Structure 1
Amino acid sequence: MDVFRALLHDAPDPGSSPDPTAHRALLDRADGWTVGPLVVPDERLAGLGTAGDLGVTLSVLIGGGAGGLTALARRAETLPLVSAETVLRDLDDLAGNAGRVAAAATGLGDGVEVYVGVPAARGAVEAVEVVEAAGLLGRVSLAEARGGTGAGAQLSVLVEADLPFKATGLGADPFGAYGLVALLMAVEALVDGADPRDADALLGGVDEQRATNALAAWDAATSARVRRRLHGVDCADVAGTLERLGAAGLLGG
């Protein structure tokens, strides 16, 4: 299904070193059309300047907010950079923090997407508006949502703002407990006006057969509607996820 095209961002576990050669192997698989960039924390960028020689693109996770974006901009031309990711940390002034990130992001150039995580805190809606107005993208951590505000509510804010986003913190199972397919179904439901609690119910896990039947019924317009919002999903085990999706018949023949 085309809804999976370049959807899976290869995000190794925090303790693992990013491996451009292993990522290239994923791209070379028959189902490698589902694989997006390699996600790399900024402190692990050393030695990855040759990733472009392998045809590997990078999404850099910034640890230092607006300042980190400014530092990345100084070396962006030496990297096969397609996106950068950061999270707002000034909980007393989320909108102001978003404005500073937006200003720093201009140094990266037009070809680099910037994903901004907005914590579920006071001022979050205003911060999302700043992010959207600046032409940046959203970033939502489903792992963090498990311990606080429901993921459905956070996703709903982004969908209501018509702000495209990527998701992180999914579980290993593509169908259950905030799995990939459950996320696709939840986003589709929210786009169609569902209550955030209905999205939470889907994210809690869907039966594999139900999920397979639901996605099989999607036409090209439905897939495009979902992907216009959901640009990418971090995945720590891309190969394992693809095996499950392929076994369920969701990747096509």
Structure 2
Amino acid sequence: MSVSYRQWTETAATSGRHTLQAALLACTFGCAAGNLQVSPIVLEFSENQQANVLWLENDGDRPVHAQIRVLQWSQAAATDVLQPSAALRASPAIVQVPAGQRQLVRIIRPTPLSAVDANEQAYRVWVDELPEVDERRPPGLQFLLRYSIPVFVLPKDALPRDQVRKGPVDTSRLLASWQITADVLTLDVRNNGKQRVRLSELGWRTDNGAITKLHPGLLGYVLAGQHMQWRLPLAAELPHPGGLQARLNDAPTAQPLPTAGH
């Protein structure tokens, strides 16, 4: 039996827990899909917090096995980089979730944040569904899930996400630049702040207030002290003059992306 992983991240999440619906209905030949769900979709460690909790839930009628790993997350050459890390550990690292039940997994931080780490530290927790071993199952393709959960170790005196006022985000440490060709928008965003910035609902706003939606939902993160780039296809030429706007973190509305000239 061959195995294929489908990655499920916060990009595809629309509620407090991951769900998988039609994404696995495309199989037409001997395909098996898991029933694993993971919550929450983001983890944060406050300054002195030693552990956090993930819940793995199995809403199917068979046991599900999963492996949990922690990777350090950085951004280099305008792309995400993931590397093995011992700064956070999963306990247990391999679990069996019985049918119709859920399993608690602790994400443990063995040592406190170093005094030299002035910026927020970023990680990803991978939850990989493991292939089912069943000699009675006919050969075919088995689709498995990989959940990728963002984890942030907050810098000193930073507030957790659920305690931050849901107002406009301070963009004084954020700098964006973009290039537009006939059919592609290339967006670069540099974050000189101490915490990540999450961009969603990217749009183009003309000077008269008309808005062209470019990327609904989550676009991605720019981590603390780093920069990120996205290339987005354009369905039509953008009207000028205008500029880019996006919803930043949990701000209630979109904000203009600051450029060198603003």
TM-score (norm 1): 0.26
Bigger strand fraction: 2
TM-score (norm 2): 0.25
Structure possessing the higher radius of gyration over alpha carbons: 2
